[in-house]
Amino acid sequence: MIIIEGPDGTGKSTLAARLRDLTLFHIEHYAEPPMTYDDFLRRKYKACWLMTQKVIQDRCPIISEYVYGSAFGRSLISRKEVDLIFERLDTPIFIYCNKEYEHVPDPKETAEYLEKLELNKNRIWDKYNNYFEDMRSNHRNCAQFRVYDTLDYGEEQILKKVREGIPWYYLETSQ
């Protein structure tokens, strides 16, 4: 299970495609965070199921809602709920895309979403930075969690670390 997170326009989808080529894992892509409570619940349950699969989540709805929800003035999931979900995972790899590129809107992104994104850009970056810094410091000595930041490691280094960190038999049986 690989989760790639970060603000819009940081290279998540590009990195996911490279990881797919490396691991042969399926990519589950979400163009934007959930916009309604029903959408959030649907994505949350699907994301929890996917966490048991050989999959790359290009934006995990659970983390995205925690970050974007608070920036957009709603709160569908608490930090405690997010932590409880991830504590139950077996050796997840989290990659935080933290390099800003020009955001190329996905056709599925609404004008309303893009407007909110622009208005809340700094709050979103701050929330992501705080979340991943907490995650790194809270799980620094825990072999179960691996957290990589694209500012700390280049893309090639992350690909190498992911390849080294996934058991060979897990990669050979990926379909």
pLDDT of 41 > 90? The answer is: no
What pLDDT score does 143 carry?
Answer: 52
- Residue 1 near residue 165 (C-beta atoms within 8 A): no
Placement of tokens 């990195």 in the chain = 15
What pLDDT score does 17 carry?
Answer: 93
Region at 73 (left for phi over 0; alpha for psi -120 to 50; beta for the rest): left
Higher pLDDT, 89 or 104: 104
Over residues 42-71, the pLDDT tens digits come to 888 888 777 777 889 898 888 888 888 888
Task: Report how far residue 68's alpha carbon sits from residue 35's, in angstroms, rounded to the nearest whole number.
Answer: 10
Domains in the chain, number:
1
Q: Residue 127: which domain range?
A: 2-172
User: Residue 66: what are its φ and ψ, rounded to 5°?
Assistant: -60, -45
What pLDDT score does 157 carry?
Answer: 86
Task: Report how far residue 166's alpha carbon sits from residue 164's, in angstroms, rounded to the nearest whole number.
Answer: 6
What mean pLDDT is reported for the chain? 81
Q: With bands split at pLDDT 50, 70 and 90, how would you rate the model's confidence at 142?
A: low
DSSP per residue over 90-142, as a string?
Answer: SS-EEEE----------TT--HHHHHHHHHTHHHHHHHHHHHHHHHHHHTTT-
What pLDDT score does 16 carry?
Answer: 92
Higher pLDDT, 117 or 163: 117
pLDDT of 170 > 60? The answer is: no
Over residues 61-100, the pLDDT tens digits come to 888 888 888 888 887 888 888 888 877 766 678 888 888 7
Higher pLDDT, 37 or 101: 37
CATH code (residue 134): 3.40.50
Task: Report how far residue 40's alpha carbon sits from residue 64's, in angstroms, rounded to the nearest whole number.
Answer: 10
Task: Report how far residue 111's alpha carbon sits from residue 150's, in angstroms, rounded to the nearest whole number.
Answer: 29
Q: What is the pTM of this model?
A: 0.82
Residue 107: count other Cβ atoms within 10 Å of its Cβ.
Answer: 5
Task: Report how far residue 108's alpha carbon sits from residue 106's, in angstroms, rounded to the nearest whole number.
Answer: 5
Residues 38, 44, 47, CA angle at the centre, nearest 5°? 140
pLDDT of 132 > 50? The answer is: yes
What pLDDT score does 140 carry?
Answer: 55
